[in-house]
Amino acid sequence: MTLPSHAEIVVIGGGIIGCSTAYHLARDHKADVVLLEQGTLTSGSTWHAAGLVGQLRSSASITRVLKYSVDLYKGLEAETGLATGWKMTGCLRLATNQDRWTEFRRLATTARSFGMDMHLVSPEDVKKMWPLMNVDDLVGASWLPTDGQASPSDITQSLAKGARMHGAKIVENVRVTGFEMKDGRIVAVKTTLGDIACEKVVNCAGQWARQVGAMAGINVPLQPVKHQYIITEKIDGLSTDAPTIRDPDRRTYFKEEVGGLVMGGYEPNPQPWTTGDVPDEWAFRLFDDDFDHFEQHMTQAIERVPALEKVGVKQMINGPESFTPDGNFILGVAPECKNMFVGAGFNAFGIASGGGAGWVLAQWVVDGEAPLDLWVVDIRRFAGMHRDRQWVLDRTLEAYGKHYTIGFPHEEYESGRPRLVSPLYERLKKHGAVFGSKLGWERPNWFAPAGTEAKDVYSMGRQNWFDAVGDEHRHVREAVGIFDQSSFSKYEMSGSDALKALDWICANDVSKPIGRLTYTQLLNTRGGIEADLTVARLADDKFYIVTGTGFRTHDFGWIEDHIPVGLDATLIDVTEDWGTLSLMGPKARDVLAAVTEADVSNAAFPFGHVRELEIAGHTVRALRVTYVGELGWELHVPIAAIGAVFDRLMEAGEEHGIRPVGYRALESLRLEKGYRAWGSDITPNDMPVEAGLGWAVKLKKNTDFFGRNALQQIQGKPLKKRFMGFTVDDPDVVLVGRETILRDGKPVGYLTSGGFGYTIGKNIGYGYVRYEDGVTDDYLKAGSYELVVASEKTPASLHFGPMVDPDMAKIKA
C-alpha cells in the first residue's frame, strides 16, 4: 500500500499493541487511521512472545483491561475469519511456603473483589489436573479457570485484518525517521516513503518506542531485557488442554504447545540488552542460545516436571522484551508533546494486555483523557529522573528480578538509591530514620528506636516497625511531631488570568481573598477525580499549589493542559525550590510561637489560611492545613534554609517533646481521621459526592468548571456507590486493601485502603459500598458487615465518618 499524504491518527508499530489500537480506533470510533510498520507485522517482539494470557492484577481497572483482552480473543475469529489460537485452559499458580500461600489467599480475595472466580486448591487437586507434575513440596495452588493462552502472531494478524475491515490502512516496510513539529505538537510524521500529515500520533513501537519518542522530544523509559524460553518435543501423557502453570517459588512458567511444553522464567540475575539504540534491522531476529544462563530455570523445571529431563528441546527462544522500571506498562499522552500517545513497555505481558490496552488507548486518543483509572500505567507517573538511562537500567533489572518474588506489603525497591534527598537526610538518619523512596525522593517511613536495627523486615503479618510507628502515631496525637515532606510537588501559577484559569480547572472555590487556601479536586469530563491538592492564594495574580510526591508530572500536566487558550496564566514547577516541614500535634502552636515573632493564635492565623513567617532568619510560607487530623502547619521553607529552620524547631520543641515522625505514622493518622488518598481511595473512577467530598465542590455557585456537567447529571439521584469506613476488632487481621466487603453475606465492594488505627486500637479500612438501586443511609444501616481478608471472613463495623474527633474541633482551634 502507498503512503497516504494525510491521516487523522497515525499509529507507529505493527505488533499486537499497535494493531489492537488501530483496530479499536477504526471499529469503535470510525477514525481515519494509518498504521506504519518498519518491517512486517509482528516482526518486533510480538512474534516470539510466549503467549500466556493472565488477567488478575492488583488494580481493578487493569484487571478489567486484561479481562477485556480475553473476551476479545474469544470472539475475534468469528469476526475476522482468522484464528487466534485462543485456548481457555485456566491457570494454576503454585505455592511452596506459607508466605506464598498467604499471598495467594489475598490474591484470591482480590480476584473475587474484582468479580473473578479464583479458587484455592490442594496439592492433590493439582496432581489430578496436571498428572505429570511433582507436587510433593506444594502447600497448595490458586486456580483461575478463565485464564488461558493464545498465538501472539495469529491474534495480531486477526486484529490487523479487523482493523482493515473497519477502514484502517496498514503500511508495512516503512520506517519513521522524524516528526515535523509546530508549537510543541506533531503536524506530520516523516518516513522513508515521504511525509504524512496528521492530528495525533500513537507510539506503539515496542522496543523502539523510546527512540521514536525521542524524535519528538519525549521520554519513554524502557529497557530491553533478554528473555529466554524453550519449546520441547512432544511429552507423553501431556494433555492438550493442560492448564498453564506459574511456579513463582521456582521462578518458572509452563504452557502446553503441540503436545510439548513452552517453559521459561524470570531469573534474579537478568541480562539487559543495550542502553543505546535498538538496531532498526532487528526483524524476526533472536540472540544466540544461552543455555548456561538458562540452566537455573531448567534445573527448577525438571524438579517440578521430571519428564522434562528426558524430552528433547525443539527450540530455544532468546529475544528482547521491553521492560519498565516498575513492572507496569506505559499508556497515555506524553507530557512533553500534547498529541503523541504511547502504548509500550509491556514487560512480557503484551499478549495478555494487548486487546484491552488497545481498547483503552484508542478511547484515550479520541477523548483526550483516560476512560478508566489507569494511573498505575500512565506515562505521567514518570519524571525527569527517568531520563537517566543507567538508573532506568538498574531499576528495571530489579523489577524484572522481582517478577516472581513474594509481594510483601510495603516492600521498597533498593536500586538507584538514594537519588533525591532533602537537606535533612543526614540529620534524620541520626534519629534512626528508615527511608522509603517515592519518585526518587528518600522519605523517612519510620524511626527505629535506640537499640533497634534501622531496617524493614518484610512479612505477611505485622512487620517489625509496627510498634515503633504506633509510638510515633500516639506522639502526634498527644504532643507534637515534625514530618519532612520536602518531596511534595509544588507549583506556582501567575498571571492576570491565573484566578480565571484555576476557577475553571478546580472543582472547589479558589476565588478567595489573598492569604486563604483551598482544598480542591480536579475533575475529568466524567466527574471523576483526576487530582486533589491545595491551592494557596499569595497575591491577586499568584497562587501556590501543593500536591503529592508521586503526582508531580501528572498534576502539572493536567493543570497546564486545561488552562483555557488565550488566558494570561503561567504554571511553573518549584518543587526543588521549597522544602516542607509539617509541624503537627496539640502542642504545635506552642513550638511555632516560640520560633517566630508573628501572632500564630487562632484569631490571627485561622485554619485554611497562608501567612509568611520569619523563622531562624528565613521567610517561610506557613499553610494552616493538616493531613493527620491535628492542629498543625505545613511550613514551606526555601530549600537552602530548611536545615536551619528544622534545627530551630527541634530546639524550641524540646520542652514539648518534639520528635521527627515518618510516613507510616502519617498513613495511620490519616486513616483514623478519614482523609482520602488519591490513587487508592479517590481516583478518576470516583466522583466527589460518592467519595463523601461533595462539600469541596462549588456546585451551588453559578460558576462553570471542568467536570461540572457530569456532577449535575447525578444531582438528586440515588448514589450507586458510597465511600465508607470499616473497623475490625480482631488484632491478628492485617488489612492492606482490596479485601472484599460483604453486606449480609453478599459482596458489595472492596477496600481501597487499609491499616491500623493506634488511637482506637483497631484495624481500619475504607472502600466503596455499591448497590444499583441506591446506597442510602437506611440501606447502609440495615446491613450486617464482614470483610474477607486472605480468603477468611471477619466481622466488621461500618462507620459514616472519621474514627477520631469527627467535629474537627481541635484541628481548627
Q: pLDDT tens digits for 728-747?
A: 999 899 999 999 999 999 99
As given in the structure block, the three cell numbers for residue 618 are 528565613
Q: Residue 762's domain is classified under what CATH number?
A: 2.40.30.110
The whole-number pLDDT of residue 754 equals: 97
Residues 246 and 120 reside in one and the same domain: yes
Cβ-based burial of 598 (10 A; exposed 0-12, middle 13-18, buried ≥19): middle
The whole-number pLDDT of residue 808 equals: 64
Contact predicate 245/271, CB 8 Å: no
Helix, coil or strand: residue 543: strand
Q: Say how many domains are in the chain.
A: 4
Q: pLDDT tens digits for 227-239?
A: 999 999 999 999 9
What distance in Å separates the CA atoms of residue 408 and residue 414, rounded to the nearest whole number?
14
Instruction: Judge whether 493 lies within some domain.
Output: no
338, 336, 275, 263: which is closest to 304 by C-alpha? 263
428, 49, 417: which is closest to 264 by C-alpha? 49
Q: What is the mean pLDDT of residues 589-615?
A: 98
Residues 130 and 95 reside in one and the same domain: yes
The whole-number pLDDT of residue 552 equals: 98
Q: Residue 163's domain is classified under what CATH number?
A: 3.50.50.60
Model confidence at 569, in pLDDT bands (50, 70, 90)? very high
Contact predicate 252/264, CB 8 Å: yes
Instruction: List the domain range (segments joined by +) for residue 215.
Output: 6-84+150-223+326-381
Cβ-based burial of 22 (10 A; exposed 0-12, middle 13-18, buried ≥19): buried
Instruction: Judge whether 21 lies within some domain.
Output: yes
| Share above pLDDT 70 across residues of the chain, in percent, rounded to a whole number | 99
Helix, coil or strand: residue 19: helix
Q: pLDDT tens digits for 284-298?
A: 899 999 999 999 999
Helix, coil or strand: residue 749: strand
Model confidence at 807, in pLDDT bands (50, 70, 90)? low
Given a cut of 80, whether residue 710 has pLDDT beyond it is: yes
Residues 108 and 159 reside in one and the same domain: no
As given in the structure block, the three cell numbers for residue 81 are 475469519
Enclosing H/E stretch for 189: strand 185-191
Instruction: Judge whether 783 lies within some domain.
Output: yes
Enclosing H/E stretch for 237: none
Position 320, amino acid:
P
The predicted model scores a pTM of 0.97
Residues 183 and 206 reside in one and the same domain: yes
Residues 37 and 164 reside in one and the same domain: yes
Q: Residue 138's domain is classified under what CATH number?
A: 3.30.9.10
Instruction: Judge whether 415 lies within some domain.
Output: no
Given a cut of 90, whether residue 44 has pLDDT beyond it is: no
Instruction: Judge whether 536 lies within some domain.
Output: no
Residues 308 and 337 reside in one and the same domain: no
What distance in Å separates the CA atoms of residue 499 and residue 514, rounded to the nearest whole number?
11
Mean pLDDT of all residues belonging to the chain: 96
The whole-number pLDDT of residue 809 equals: 66
Give helix 350-367 / helix 152-165 axis angle, nearest 10°: 30
Q: pLDDT tens digits for 309-348?
A: 999 999 999 999 999 999 999 999 999 999 999 999 999 8
196, 174, 175, 199: which is closest to 186 by C-alpha? 199
Residues 177 and 270 reside in one and the same domain: no
Q: What is the mean pLDDT of residues 406-421?
A: 97
As given in the structure block, the three cell numbers for residue 621 are 510560607
Domain final residue pick, 622, 657, 692: 657
Per the listing, cell 493472565 goes with 54
Residues 641 and 742 reside in one and the same domain: no
What distance in Å separates the CA atoms of residue 9 and residue 436, rounded to the nearest whole number?
42
What distance in Å separates the CA atoms of residue 287 and residue 297, rounded to the nearest whole number?
18
Helix, coil or strand: residue 7: strand
Residues 612 and 741 reside in one and the same domain: no
Domain final residue pick, 296, 319, 342: 319
Residues 711 and 788 reside in one and the same domain: yes
The whole-number pLDDT of residue 804 equals: 87
Instruction: Judge whether 169 lies within some domain.
Output: yes
As given in the structure block, the three cell numbers for residue 180 are 515535523
Domain final residue pick, 273, 288, 319: 319
What is the total residue count of the chain?
813
Neighbours of 781 (CB within 10 A): 9
* Cα separations in angstroms, 137 against 5, 91, 123, 124, 790: 62, 19, 9, 12, 22
The whole-number pLDDT of residue 53 equals: 86
Residues 597 and 722 reside in one and the same domain: no
Residues 80 and 160 reside in one and the same domain: yes
Instruction: Judge whether 424 lies within some domain.
Output: no
Q: pLDDT tens digits for 506-562?
A: 999 999 999 999 999 999 999 999 999 999 999 999 999 999 999 999 999 999 999
Check the CA dihedral 766-770-776-778 and report its sign: negative
Q: pLDDT tens digits for 258-279?
A: 999 999 999 999 999 998 999 9
Instruction: Judge whether 764 lies within some domain.
Output: yes
Q: What is the DSSP-derived secondary structure letter of residue 509?
A: -
CA Rg value for the chain = 27
The whole-number pLDDT of residue 47 equals: 82
Model confidence at 772, in pLDDT bands (50, 70, 90)? very high
Beta bridge partners of 609: 516
Q: pLDDT tens digits for 454-467?
A: 999 999 999 999 99
Q: pLDDT tens digits for 64-113?
A: 999 999 999 999 999 999 999 889 999 999 999 999 999 999 999 999 98
Residue 595's contacts (CB-CB under 8 Å, 6 or more residues apart) are 615, 616, 648, 649, 652
